[in-house]
Chain A
Amino acid sequence: MRLGCGVFAASCVAIEVLGVAIFLRGFFPASVRSSSPTGHQAEPPAPEPLAGASSNWTKLPLPLFSKAVIVLIDALRDDFVFGSKGARYMPFTTYLMGKGPSHSFVAEAKPPTVTMPRIKALMTGSLPGFVDIIRNLNSPALQEDNVIRQAKAAGKRMIFYGDETWVKLFPKHFVEYDGTTSFFVSDYTEVDSNVTRHLEKVLKRGDWDMLILHYLGLDHIGHVSGPDSPLIGYKLREMDGILMKIYTALLTKEKETLSPSLLVLCGDHGMSETGSHGAASAEEVRTPLVLVSSAFERKPGDIRHPTQVQQTDLAATLAIGLGLPIPKDSIGSLLFPVVERRPMREQLRFLHLNGVQLSRLLQENVPAYEKDPGFEQFVMAERLHGNWVKLHLEEDHSGALLNLGTKVARQYLSALKTLSLALSMHVAQYDIYSMAVGTIIVLEALTLLLLSTPQVLHRRAELEVPLSPPMFSLLFYLMFLVLSAIHVVVCTSAESSCYFCSLPWLAAGGVMVLVSALLCVIASALARMVMDSTLLQKSTTHPCSGWSEVGLLLLLGTVGHVLSLGASSFVEEEHQTWYFLVNTLCLALSQETCRSYFLGDNKELPHCFHTEPASVGAICMQQDHIACEAPKGGQADKGPCPSGARRGHVRWAVLAGPWLVLACCRLLRSLNHTGVQGAHRPDLGHWLTSASHKMELSCLAALSLLVIFMLAQRGCSLVSKVALALGLVGVFCYRVAIGNLLFPWQLTNRGISKGILEARFVYVFVLGILFTGTKDLLKSQVIVADFKVKTVALWELYSGLVLLAALLLRPHNLPVLAFSLLIQTIMTKFIWKPLRHDVAEITVMHYWFGQAFFYFQGNSNNIATIDISAGFVGLDTYMEIPATFLTVFGTYVGPVLWAGHLAHFLSAEASSYSDSAMSRACFCYALICSVPVATYIVLVTSLRYHLFIWSVFSPKLLYEGMHLLITAALCVLFTATSQTGHTRAWVKTGARNQ
């Protein structure tokens, strides 16, 4: 079967996407889970141990607190409460912590530090898996056992106000609720007043047992203006007032009922120095946890160093405090200070309950649980406890007994700590089988691509894909049988859950067929290659005289980058790799321009980029290395060597071109410092976004928009030019409306709106330009056989994307877009056109620049740097599909725009490249993108027990998967644009034949 290489590449990448999806499903494991189903009524609580007899205290102990209020402030970092900011802005809370009846802790959140997994951790006490990040935007109901469910089962009445995520996680659990949506990052007053407005009424009423408040404003302020913004102070003061209100209300209620109540102040995650969250830095992980209750002891001493605990400990503590069973999957241990003032017997009973729950969880998840030190300690503590109870029941309460009790409690506490640590360390096993299947698919597709590379590099437009013979070969059926047998064996014997086994048989069978078919295709392709090479070796050596320096650099750079992915620091600092490579590329290009313009005006135009490969190849075949220069010399006359005065001008421009690009790159590099080591250093972006430099930012944004217009309008039709201009004006208006920029005639701050109208105004133009472009493209492919129409159409599509990017990028990133266009222009005019690089080289250069611009924009391999605000531009409410699309586009602006430019460039230069240039470029693009993904999958599999697997390698894996998906989409589009050209040529030849 013959396939165009574009189609071939696109299908290979599509197969790879499937493989990566299966791999990802297997890689992100489920968390530690209790195997008993959570649905039906739990078994009775463990009775109190008693040596030699059974205790009659089998019921759960009574609740310690009659009411509980949980105030969860999103992104509350520990120093906002315990640090200098806390002392300044939260005087009441500071007073409570210092002199009031309270216990304060620093609760450590585990990454991913994103709201939904943190809520789950707080309420279930378990550690949600990393993949919860992806589900963060549409959270389904929580299935696992949790405090809220237990409270509902116990008949408690709960009220919730705040982040809507809770309502989705716990549907029908609250008797009263009001969810606020968390997706308007620029709104930080209304979200919170929507919560607070209910407070007065509810506190007065008192017909509830548990009140949960989730305040989002602080997080929004952090996202918009960072942790040092003056707004933070106002917000903290507001929160302090709310806490005071709740506390006084609780106190007055307590006077009536005489039973103590509990006030919990906590944060779900912290806030990094840039104001976002998601990763594992100390600022993001450390959150305050303050428990206030009149049941606690008043400590006169000022506590400056709260003890460090785990966030998961809250679930167990809450359950104990409210007299509920501890959630089954909880890996937290009881916060002992909370029960410190209870009688010794009760204290021990609480600890015992917690220990029984943890050891049961350990038994269900670890086969060799008996050897676990925590379990051993627990068994010992239980025995001591039994003895203690026996003594306690026999004799009166003496000091010795109290001492013994304290000793037992200490033993329990250390057992709990060890158990909890062991459980949190025990990450559920990876689903190796699914991972292996995914890896095999990806590697097979990559091998196919690699095997056909030589053909494509020899400028063959169509590839011979031996598809039909292997389908009927014995090998195929054998492979299929073997794979099915393996599947059955693995799935029947596996103890842990396996995603691939849980698929329906038909789907699994389809994947088997795919795997074995790919294997057969590879085998036959290999066999044919061996035969071809023996044939070729007789007739010829290499047709082209080796690699050029730039080609060699491109190859080595790509290989080096791929290898660097194995080191965590290089993954964290990947932007450095790309900047380094792009700089080196520019220097190599500058060397090439120097050589071609100083040395070889008529002697040697660089390298063998011929339009008639066959003839030159034939000459090269016969002659040796040096003689191969001759045809190149001949080519120089044909090449664009402008004469006279213009020639000198162009010459200097060509010489200066790479240096200009280098200078642009250096400027962009200091715009956004990204990565781990450089992120905290001051950069231009921070300087521009600070509130006092709004004027400068406005000027810069206006200038960039102007440059964008100048550069993007060149290739457009008149209508699109006008649309583009209006659209760019609309972008500026949008940014003014949401308060990022200023009009020169309105220097005072106006009211801030969501800018929906302005954004939609821009969307209209984006869609208009894209529509015209698509229409022209279709016309050029179906009716007119004209490359000019197609070029204009492609440029219009490209400029539509540029306009969309200008809308989505933050204003301080608009220069990135402007420089991207500028560099593209410089490279096209002064480097690619005069030096006439090969299609493959041009594709790889576009890919490199696309990657570099991904990081120039401020992205990194860290989830926290994704700018989710791009997903809410011009949307009234949160809509999942457009928001996802916009966020993805906003993140991958660099690679997408450079790929778009590649398509336009090849179409514009169609005269100097062969007809198949586009599909060959598509092939090269697919190859260059899938090599890192495939290698990274293998690397991650071998590094899966690395210390940084969750904080460094997993986010990168998600980024790579997303990048591959985008590549697949781009390849499909590439193929679509080049495809009809083929059919037309084909039709033409068909007509000629007739």
Chain B
Amino acid sequence: MKETDIKTLLYAHFLCIFSVILSVLLPSFFLENFSILDTHLTWLCICSLFVISINLVLYLVPKPNTSSKRSSLSHKVTRFLKCCIYFLVSCFSLHVVFVLYGAPLVELVLETFLFAVILSTFTTVPCLCLLGPNLKAWLRVFSKNGVTSIWENSLQITTISSFVGAWLGAFPIPLDWERPWQVWPISCTLGATFGYVAGLVISPLWIYWNRKQLTYKNN
């Protein structure tokens, strides 16, 4: 039971990683002069679109959460709208956090906002897909001993690693190497992406490694 769960998790994560890689490779066939650094904003949009769509597909296909299966169409629509609102709110609040961290207020607004978008893509979207627009559940998952399944466990790991990646990504900015990727917010977005991918890779392995110790309260 558990082994198969972990296997499904692994495949799902491979799909997500694949979508990130695809977002790097695919556009260069359609767009001229596409590269991550030069046309960074385009890449950000494409990457976030890809990751969102993969997450949606994953949400619709394997149904890891079985609770909300039977519900009316209107309920589904309101739920979807709520999710959209949550996503937007998370984008804006992340933007505010970036500004508080010292991002320029007026210049580079679009860049900062797209960074917020991609970071919420990596963090909020999986949460919304898995837990739904339910703040209590989110808080439960992100507190000590609140995890109830391996899906939530992997969610915890990927989200935290995306945040940590973005956080670490800010470190090279003050260095005087004069590289193109040191410009705000490129190093942070790259850091977030690497963190996300690393979280996707690590979480199945970590769960597999600790499968004996992990006991989930089913409440």
Contacts and interface: CB of A to CB of B under 8 A. Distances in A.
A987 to B, nearest CB: 45
A499 interface: no
B175 A567 contact: yes
Interface stretch (B23-31, B33-41, B53-61, B138-146): B138-146
Contacts of B97: 587
A626 B145 CA distance: 9
A595 B100 CA distance: 21
B145 A677 contact: no
A95 interface: no
A579 B175 contact: no
Given A594-B139, A595-B143, A599-B143, A583 B100 contact: yes
Given A584-B167, A626-B145, A570 B175 contact: yes
A599 to B, nearest CB: 6
B100 A665 contact: yes
Contacts of B176: 568-569, 572, 677
B141 to A, nearest CB: 11
A914 interface: no
Nearest to A545: B144
A666 B175 contact: no
A580 B101 contact: yes
Nearest to B146: A599
A669 B173 CA distance: 17
A274 interface: no
A570 B174 CA distance: 7
A975 to B, nearest CB: 37
Given A567-B175, A569-B175, A580-B170, A666 B100 contact: yes
A598 interface: yes
A568 B177 CA distance: 11
B139 A595 contact: yes
B133 to A, nearest CB: 16
A576 interface: yes
Interface in B128-180: 135-136, 139-140, 143, 145, 167, 170, 173-176
A567 B172 CA distance: 11
A848 to B, nearest CB: 15
B102 A599 contact: no
B100 to A, nearest CB: 5
B109 interface: no
A547 to B, nearest CB: 12
Interface string B62-96: 00000000000000000000000000000000000
B: contact size bracket: 10 to 19
Contact of A663 (B100, B143, B167, B170): B100
Contacts of A675: 174
Given A569-B176, A677-B174, A576 B143 contact: no
B174 A583 contact: no
Nearest to A669: B102
Q: Which of B99, B100, B101, B145 has the most CB of A within 10 A?
A: B100
A573 interface: yes
Nearest to B163: A587
A315 interface: no
B115 to A, nearest CB: 16
A326 to B, nearest CB: 39
A662 interface: yes
Contacts, number: 43
Nearest to B176: A569
A662 B174 contact: no
A370 B135 CA distance: 79
Interface string A246-287: 000000000000000000000000000000000000000000
Interface in B116-137: 135-136
A238 to B, nearest CB: 40
Interface string A592-618: 001100110000000000000000000
Interface in A561-590: 567-570, 572-573, 576, 579-580, 583-584, 587
Contacts of A570: 174-175
Interface string A726-738: 0000000000000
A662 B102 CA distance: 10
B99 A666 contact: yes
A580 B145 CA distance: 29
A166 B139 CA distance: 70
Contacts of B101: 579-580, 583
A576 B167 contact: no
B102 A666 contact: yes
A895 B117 CA distance: 38
Contacts of A662: 100
A579 B143 contact: no
A573 B102 contact: no
Nearest to B173: A576
Nearest to A595: B143
A579 B135 CA distance: 30
A647 to B, nearest CB: 19
A579 B174 contact: no
Nearest to B99: A666
A579 B102 contact: yes
B49 to A, nearest CB: 28
B152 to A, nearest CB: 15
Interface in A836-873: none
B197 to A, nearest CB: 23
Contacts of B102: 576, 579-580, 583, 666, 669
Interface-central residue, B136, B140, B170, B176, by most chain A CB under 10 Å? B176
B174 A599 contact: no
A636 to B, nearest CB: 16
Interface string B176-212: 1000000000000000000000000000000000000
A544 to B, nearest CB: 14
A567 B175 CA distance: 8
Nearest to B168: A560
Residue among A567, A568, A598 with most chain B CB within 10 A: A598
A662 B135 CA distance: 23
A546 to B, nearest CB: 10
Nearest to B101: A583
Contacts of B135: 598
A957 B102 CA distance: 27
Contacts of A579: 101-102
Given A569-B176, A677-B174, A599 B100 contact: no
Nearest to B103: A666
Contacts of A576: 102, 173-174
A294 to B, nearest CB: 49
A567 B99 CA distance: 26
Q: Closest 8 A-B residue pairs measured CB to CB?
A: A573-B174, A569-B175, A662-B100, A569-B176, A666-B100, A576-B174, A583-B101, A595-B143
22 contacts: A567-B175, A568-B176, A569-B174, A569-B175, A569-B176, A570-B174, A570-B175, A572-B174, A572-B176, A573-B174, A579-B101, A580-B170, A583-B101, A583-B102, A598-B139, A599-B143, A662-B100, A663-B100, A665-B100, A666-B102, A675-B174, A677-B176
Given A572-B176, A598-B135, A666-B102, 8 more contacts: A569-B174, A569-B175, A569-B176, A598-B136, A598-B139, A662-B100, A665-B100, A666-B100
